[in-house]
Every structure is written in structure tokens, then in C-alpha cells.
Amino acid sequence: GEKVEQHESTLSVREGDSAVINCTYTDTASSYFPWYKQEAGKSLHFVIDIRSNVDRKQSQRLIVLLDKKAKRFSLHITATQPEDSAIYFCAATNSAGNKLTFGIGTRVLVRP
């Protein structure tokens, strides 16, 4: 089945800098890649996604890049702010498109 590897377990950045989280997946047929944010003690909140028909998507300060050849996708948080501090999860659908497989999460800490 699909495996999603999230490469950074923790990331510490200075406020105003960019944070980059990288994920790789194994199923060539995966076509949907959402990202979720989890603040301390809270649930997961959808932040942005990308589909396999594009290689870049931006929503305000969030940019997602998709490299299908390398089976890699990444989340770029630009101009980081203290409220960006959280755990971020990447995910990918399986080939049937009926299940999401999640990475183990990246803890992002934005330092003042």
C-alpha cells in the first residue's frame, strides 16, 4: 500500500523566514495531496491541497509544490508568524483514491 514519508520531524525557524516541509510517497497513481495543521491539544485543520494535474499551488503564505517524477511534494510556509507554530501533516491518496495515508508529522516552531 501507499507509504508517505515526512522527512523533517522538527523545524525551527526565525519569525519572518520560510519553513519547508518535504514529503515523499510511493504510489505512482496517487493524485491528491492535502496538508493539515494541528495546534497543541487540538484537532487537525485542513490548510491546503494540490492535485496531480498541477505542480504548484499557493494560498496566501502557503505554497505547495508537487514533483510527480520524484514522487515528492512540499509545503512552503513563507513569512512565518508565531501562529504558524504547530504540527503539520502531509497526506496522499492511494491508487483507488478512497483512502488517505498520512506522514508522521513535522513540528514547526517559529522563534521570535
Partner 1 sequence: EAAVTQSPRNKVAVTGGKVTLSCNQTNNHNNMYWYRQDTGHGLRLIHYSYGAGSTEKGDIPDGYKASRPSQENFSLILELATPSQTSVYFCASGGRGREDTQYFGPGTRLLVL
Judged by the rule CB under 8 A, the positions of this chain that interact with partner 1 are: 1, 6, 31-32, 34, 36, 42-46, 49, 51, 89, 93, 96-105
Give the nearer residue to partner 1 in terms of CB position, either 79 or 104.
104
Q: Which of 65, 62, 89, 55 is nearest to 78 (CA)?
A: 62
Tell me the closest approach of the beta carbon of residue 15 to partner 1, in angstroms: 27
Intra-chain end-to-end CA distance of the chain, in Å = 41
Tell me the closest approach of the beta carbon of residue 31 to partner 1, in angstroms: 7
Give the nearer residue to partner 1 in terms of CB position, either 22 or 31.
31
Quote the CA–CA distance of 12 and 106 in Å, as a whole number. Answer: 10
Tell me the closest approach of the beta carbon of residue 100 to partner 1, in angstroms: 7
Between strands 10-14 and 106-111, the pairing is: parallel
Quote the CA–CA distance of 18 and 43 in Å, as a whole number. Answer: 24
Give the nearer residue to partner 1 in terms of CB position, either 60 or 112.
60
